[in-house]
Each structure stands twice: as C-alpha cells, then as structure tokens.
Chains A and B, each alone.
Chain A
C-alpha cells in the first residue's frame, strides 16, 4: 500500500493520533491520582460507613405495633393525615405514600398465629441509588448520613423511585407542584440541633433506637449473641444489604416476609457506574470516539467534496447535502 501524505495531512494525523492516545491514557492517570489521594472510588462496591454516621436500629421482636412513631413523624414533618381508608376519621395509610414518611406494617403468617411488626422509612443507604441517579443533585447524602431532598433542584423525573430498591421515595401525584416525599432522618428539624429523630424519640418500648451506626451494629450483635434462637438467621438486615444501610433491622421472621427486599451486598451505585465512570472520566471515552470518527469523516468528506466540486462545475448547479 502506497500512502502519500502531504505535510499538512501528516500534522493532522499526528494531532489526531496524539489526541487519541492521550484520551486513552487520561482515565488511567486519573485513576492513579485518585488512588494516591486515598479515596479510591466514588462508588466502592462495599462502602465503609464514616465514623460520624448515625443509624436507627429497629427490633421487630420488641415492637408492639403501637404506632406512636407515626403521628410523631407526621408532626415533625408537617405531614397531613392519610384518612382515605378510615373514612376521614384517623390517619390510616396502607403503605409509604405521599402523606406518609414512616409506617408500621404488620406481617401475619397465614398458617400459624405468628406475627411481626415492621417499621418502614428511608433506609439511608451508605451509597444511595437515588442519590446516584438524581440528575441535578436534588437528593443528597448529608453529614451524619441523612439522605435529603431539595425542592429547588428536582425536575420531577422520578428516577429515584425507579432506582430505590426499598421503594421509599414517593411522588405527589395529586399536586401540581409535586414534591418527593421521603424520610429525611428529621435532618433539618431535629438532627442538626443534636436531637434524635421524632420516631425514635417517642418509641415507648425501645423497638427503634437511635445512635451511632457502629454502636447500634455492636448492640444488635450483642442481642443476637444473647438470645440466638430468637433472631432470624442471626444477622442484622442492613449491615451489608446494597452496600450497607443506616437503618438496621432485627427480626424473628424472614426479612422478606417483612417486606424487605433480598439484596446483594454490592452497592447498587457501584454496579451501575463501574463501567461508565471509567468511560466518561473527563469525557475521555466520547473524546476518543470523536477522534476516531473525526479522522474518518474528514477523509471521506474530502473525497465527497472533490466529487461534488467536479459535479457542480460540470452542471453549474448546487449539489444536495
């Protein structure tokens, strides 16, 4: 093959190749730089809770289903009562919804008399999928680990609802100016002022308690060690689920029966971004493709233009593009 390049073409090819190589090497360099700083990845597969991370521990074997936490939550968050089912008399939600950030649900075994209560609210994951997906950073993980929503950034795309494995964020379908309703760990109302969240502060039996995540995890394990026959699988739900959550559960029945999903131990944000975070690092992937495409398009364009000019000279009329 005999390729003749003009000086100008040779320069262009060199710039193109240089750009291609640079954009291929940049992600690696960025990766190395990140490693040297110590924070290796934005979404590690198994995130480690920061030392100040707070948590809730809910022990299903202690909960009596008094629901004291529900009005406390409504009061702290200024939520209206959901009276649809009770005919307008009292708060009676059927699940987490646009008026309910916290709910006590009952599991009843169809065969035996076994039953268990479960408290549902945001799990405040260590690496929340909703925060990873939120396009303009309306949902953020704040200090102490609370996941909160900011109305002025939300476009209402509802990706958080699709992403959340616990199906926590709720959208106000009946509101013209809809908000995302989810438990925010009472961050603005109480957590910032060194108070514990409303639900844990009113729990009369200590079924749900508030504390540092490390302390609560240790306490949960102590409870299991003390009465191992009492707890299902002798494990704490939320220790590793979806990379770990800041709400921990103990239960005598299977967690799936309580309506908690069976999840892997890998953070969902890690699963979703492990490839794209490399490809899109400093837009290197798109730049690489653009470089390669640009090279071929320029070459084919020149051929096309030469033909066009000949054609137009011959006929005297503009050619279609």
Chain B
C-alpha cells in the first residue's frame, strides 16, 4: 500500500495514517453516465414495484406454491443484508472490543448497511401478498413469539428505521453546521449533547438487534426441515447465518472502501485495512470451524465429500471462504491492495453463497417444480440494488462518509444551497483555517 509519512494523531490512542475523519467528495461531477444508468435502472425497478402494488404477484414473478419465496426474499433480503452487516461487525469491534482504528470507517459501513437494509425492506414490502395487514406488528398480543418470521418482520424495520438511522443522524446533522446558517447551528448545539447522551445506549440496541435477526434468518430455514439438503439443514444454521453476516459485513466494507477510494483517488490506509483484514480472516476461520464441526456432529462429512452436485457446491462455497481466511493470515497479502481486494470479494461471495444456497439450490421440495426468476422479478431486484448504489454515491458526494485526511476537507464546498449566506459566514466562521492548521501539524 502506498504509504506516505504518517501523521501522528494528537489524540494519542490511535496512530492515524491517511484516514482521519469522514470527508465529503468535493471534486468531479456527481452525475456521471454510469450513475445515470443506475438511476434509470432504479427508476424502472421502482416503477415496476409501483405497478406490482396494483397487481397480484402472479404476473410479476415466477414464484409458485413449491418455491414460494423468490429472489426478492432469498437474495435481496436473506443474502444482501449479510453484506449490509458492516455496522454490526465493525460496530462491535470498535465499541465493544475497543478497536479504535475502526471508528473512522464506521460511517462508510453505516451508510452501506443502511442502504442494504432499506432496499431489502422495500423489496420485502412489494413481495408480501397482504402488506396492509402489517399493522399487527404494533399489537404485541397478536405476535406469535415462537415464529422466526415475526422476529425478522419486526426487528428488521425497527433496526433500520430507529437504530441505524440514529447512528447515521450525526452524519446528516453535521451538514447543517457547515451550511453556515446561524439558527441551524444553534439548533445543532442544542440537540448535539442529547444525541451524545443517548448514543452509547442506542448502540447497544444497534448491536443486539441485528444479532437477533441475522440469526433468525437462518432460523427461518429450520422449519423447512427435510426440504433443504442435509449439508445445509442443521440446527446451527442460525449461528452460521450470523457468523456469515459478520464476515460478509467485514469483507464488504473492505471491498467498498477500496473501490470507492480508488474511484475518488483517495489514499488507502494500511493500518485500518489490515486491521479489518485480520478480523475478516479470523471470523472466516470461526465460520469454517463451526461448519466442519457441525458436519462431523451430524455425520454428514462423507456426503460433503461425495463429489456429487451438492457436495461440489459445498466444497466450492467453503473454498471461497477458506481462501481469504488463509491468505489474509500473511502480512504480504494483507498489505497488497490488489490481493486484499480480491480476498475480500471472495469472502463476500462465499458468505453470500452460504446464505443463498439453502434457500434456492439446496432447497429441494417433494413436488418437482422449477423456479427461475422472471424478467420483471430480476429487473425489480436489480432496481433495488441500483437504488442503493445511487443513494450511496450521492451520500459520498454530499456527506462526510468516506474516510480521508482531515486536511483535504474543502471548506468552500457548500452542497445544499444558501450560497449567499453561506459564503459570508464561511468567511466569518473560524473553522476552515483552524482545522487545516491543526491537522497540518
């Protein structure tokens, strides 16, 4: 990794290299042709979703009574929220295990995680057949507390709408400060301390709740029983789904940080990335250890190496997780950006495969019916992902999401209006020069 002379952090606890705080991207056009393409795709997807609301599910999907769950549930929700578990994995590492280096990349993880959850929930909203009955979620006496589906249908929206949103709140409120509007600043200084007071308590929920629903996603499949191939169907599936979510979240955060820093020509921070890579490797090993122990316990090891279709699938999936687990043990690999990127992608794909296979390929019910997503189904699924991507690009451009050097903050940048007032107060305001000087030391 390109290392320039690291600047020592005056706060002492961490040695900060290039990533010191969130810095918005302030140069280059926002609306690139690629972003327009993604916006178009998101528009088509959401348009179809809107049509779907006025139509039964039949014409929009290839789902049938044997494969009652299509890719909206199995891919957009059960698989992609694993990638969106970055806030869970990094948050626990940073706040519970005190890995202070990771605080600086929390914002990237939080925004991507929020978008994965939000788009997944949109997908879910258009997938369920009778969404108008969902108000039962507010009536605890109607809850069937033993249902994993209940846990998910309540915890996921709660997590996204309350806990993740609260964690992202400082990111959005901070923008108000930089508009230079005095009344906004007064408002901010009034509620700022309250947010800080609530923050440590809210983040407890923000880590406990995803632990619950990420494991419940695996718990969902327990009831499918013998319909799922015994290589995947196992009582430890909830635990494995959770661990897969953790390493997918870590892997995806590494991947996202690297490609976005590449796109916006930012320096990478070797210290933070190697820390993440270390954690990723460790969690991958934990996952594989549980997986193998479970297969031995259930005496499925012979089936796992039988080299038939399911066994090859299992071996492929495990190899995808084993490769980064081993490779990232080597310092040379961790510190080579290309290798680190490849390995994090492999880990993500392996984790996604583990979470996708039991819902689809290894899901073999008695009645022989095939399911392959129909075109509108695929377009809608892609549209939700495109929507998340567009939102992420906009967030990176207008908010201090991406980590960077504090000195690179462009204080003349005013994304949200009030140009006249803002330019006056920005001259009058003491921030710009002072921050630059302080960081330059």
- Which residues from chain B contact A304 at a C-beta distance below 8 Å? 100, 103
- Complex contacts, A275 vs chain B, CB 8 Å: 235, 238
A290 touches B208 (CB 8 A): yes
Complex: A24 Cα to B311 Cα, angstroms:
39
Residues on the A chain within 8 Å of B58, using CB:
173-174
Binding site for A on B (CB under 8 A): 10-13, 21-22, 54-58, 63-66, 68-69, 92, 95-98, 100, 103, 107, 128-131, 133-134, 136-137, 142-151, 153, 170, 174, 177, 192, 195-196, 199-201, 203-205, 207-208, 211-212, 216, 219-220, 222-227, 235, 238, 365-367, 400, 430-431, 434-435, 438
Contact of A158 among B69, B223, B434 (CB under 8 A): B69
Q: Which residues of A contact B226 (CB under 8 A)?
A: 165, 261-264
A303 to chain B, nearest CB (A): 8
- Contact A133–B223 (Cβ < 8 Å): yes
| A162 in complex: contacting residue of B129, B145, B223, B238, CB < 8 Å | B223
Flag if A159 contacts B149 (CB, 8 Å).
yes
**Is A91 part of the binding interface, using a Cβ–Cβ cutoff of 8 Å?**
no
A136 touches B177 (CB 8 A): no
Residues of B within 8 A of A163 (CB): 223-225
For the complex, is A56 an interface residue (Cβ under 8 Å from B)?
A: no
* Contact of A300 with B148 at beta-carbon distance under 8 Å, contacts A129-B223, A153-B136, A162-B68 already known: no
Q: Are A300 and B95 in contact (CB under 8 A)?
A: yes
Mask of A255-284 contacts with B, CB within 8 angstroms, 1/0: 000010111100011011111110010000
**Chain B hits for A296, CB < 8 A:** 95-98
Instruction: Give complex CA distance A272, B225 in Å.
Output: 8
In the complex, A268 Cα to B143 Cα: how many Å? 20
Q: Are B11 and A310 in contact (CB under 8 A)?
A: yes
- Determine the chain B residues whose CB is within 8 A of the CB of A153 once the complex forms: 133, 136, 142
Interface locus among A25-33, A57-65, A175-183, A190-198: A175-183
30 contacting pairs across A/B (C-beta < 8 A): A98-B65, A129-B225, A132-B146, A133-B220, A136-B137, A137-B142, A153-B136, A155-B130, A157-B129, A159-B147, A161-B65, A161-B68, A165-B225, A165-B227, A170-B65, A176-B54, A177-B130, A178-B130, A259-B367, A262-B226, A263-B226, A271-B235, A276-B148, A289-B208, A297-B96, A304-B103, A315-B435, A316-B430, A320-B107, A320-B174
Nearest opposing residue in chain B for A266, CB measure: B225
Give the residues in chain B near A300, CB-CB below 8 Å.
95-96, 98
Tell which of A154, A167, A280, A316 has the most Cβ of chain B within 10 Å.
A167
A136 in complex: contacting residue of B66, B136, B435, CB < 8 Å? B136
Within 8 Å by CB of A173, from B12, B63, B95, B145, lies B63
In the complex, A204 has a CB within 8 A of chain B: no
Which residues in B have their C-beta under 8 angstroms from that of A294?
A: 201, 204
Q: Give chain A interface residues in 52-100, CB to chain B under 8 Å.
A: 95-98
Q: With both chains docked as a complex, state the minimum distance between the C-beta of A121 and any C-beta of chain B, in angstroms.
A: 15
Task: Tell me whether A7 is interfacial, beta carbon within 8 Å.
Answer: no
CB A307 to nearest CB in B, in angstroms, measures 5
Q: Do A133 and B148 form a contact, CB below 8 Å, given A271-B225, A271-B235?
A: yes
The contact of B128 among A157, A242, A259, A277, by CB within 8 Å, is A157
Query: A134 contacts B144, CB within 8 Å?
Result: yes
Q: Collect the chain B residues with CB atoms within 8 Å of residue A293's CB.
A: 92, 96, 204, 207-208
- Contacting residues of chain A (191-242) with chain B, CB-CB under 8 angstroms: 242
Q: Are A320 and B170 in contact (CB-based, < 8 A)?
A: yes
B211 to chain A, nearest CB (A): 6
Chain A residues within 8 Å of B142, by CB: 136-137, 153
Q: List B contacts of A321 (CB < 8 A).
A: 170, 195-196, 199
- In the complex the two chains form, is A173's CB within 8 Å of B57's CB? yes
Complex Cα distance A159/B217, Å?
A: 12
Q: Does A142 contact B (CB under 8 A)?
A: no
State the 4 A-B residue pairs at the shortest beta-carbon distance, nearest first. Answer: A156-B129, A161-B68, A173-B58, A156-B130
Please report the number of residue pairs spanning A and B whose Cβ atoms sit closer than 8 angstroms.
211
> B residues within 8 A CB of A271?
222, 225, 235
Write the A41-52 contact mask toward B (1 if CB under 8 angstroms, else 0). Answer: 011000000000
Q: B residues within 8 A CB of A154?
A: 129-130, 133
The distance from the CB of A242 to the nearest CB of chain B, in whole angstroms, is 8
CB distance from B12 to the nearest CB of A (A): 8
Asked whether B66 lies within 8 Å of A167 as measured between CB atoms, the reply is yes
CA distance A321 to B136 in the complex (A): 36
Task: Contacts A137-B142, A272-B148 given; indicate if A176 touches B400 (C-beta within 8 A).
Answer: no
Q: Closest residue of chain A to B169, judged by CB?
A: A321
> What residues of chain A lie closer than 8 Å to B136, measured between beta carbons?
136, 153, 155
How distant is the Cα of A64 from the Cα of B298 in the complex, in angstroms? 43
Cβ-based interface call for A152 (8 A): yes
With contacts A155-B131, A155-B134, A297-B200 taken as known, whether A318 is within 8 angstroms of B192 at the C-beta atoms is yes
Kindly list chain A residues whose C-beta atoms are within 8 Å of the C-beta of B227: 162, 165
Q: Inside 8 A of B150's CB, which chain A residues have their CB? A: 135-136
16 new A-B contacts at CB < 8 Å, known A272-B222, A275-B238, A318-B177: A43-B146, A155-B128, A155-B133, A155-B136, A156-B129, A162-B69, A162-B220, A162-B224, A167-B66, A272-B219, A301-B200, A311-B11, A316-B434, A317-B434, A320-B400, A321-B170
Closest to A95 in B: B367
Indicate if A314 sits at the interface (CB-CB under 8 A).
yes
A8 interface residue, CB < 8 Å from B? no
B170 close to A158 (CB less than 8 A): no
When A162-B68, A289-B208 are in contact, do A178 and B57 touch as well, CB less than 8 Å?
yes
Q: Which residue of B lies closest to A158 (CB)?
A: B68
Contact residues in A for B97 (Cβ distance below 8 Å)? 296
A9 contacts the other chain (CB 8 A) = no
> A98 to chain B: which residues have CB within 8 Å?
65
Which residues between 99 and 147 of chain A lie within 8 Å of chain B, taking CB atoms? 129, 132-137
Query: B200–A298 contact, CB under 8 A?
Result: yes
- Cβ of A18 < 8 Å from any Cβ of B? no
A242 to B136, CA, bound (A): 30
Contact A136 B133 (CB under 8 A): yes
Pick the contact of A272 from B10, B107, B223 — CB < 8 Å?
A: B223
Most buried by B among A42, A169, A176: A176
A249 contacts the other chain (CB 8 A): no
* A175/B212 contact (C-beta < 8 A), A159-B220, A161-B65, A261-B226 known: no
Q: Which of B11, B220, B225, B226 has the most CB of A within 10 A?
A: B225
Residues of A within 8 A of B400 (CB): 320
Asked whether, in the complex, the Cβ of B22 is within 8 Å of the Cβ of A320, the reply is yes
Output the least CB separation between B15 and chain A (Å).
14
Asked, given contacts A173-B63, A173-B64, A178-B130, whether A276 binds B223 with beta carbons under 8 Å apart, the answer is: no
Expressed in whole angstroms, the minimum distance between the Cβ of B376 and any Cβ of chain A is 14
Answer yes or no: A187 CB below 8 A from chain B CBs.
Answer: no
| Residues of the B chain whose Cβ atoms lie less than 8 Å from the Cβ of A173 | 56-58, 63-65
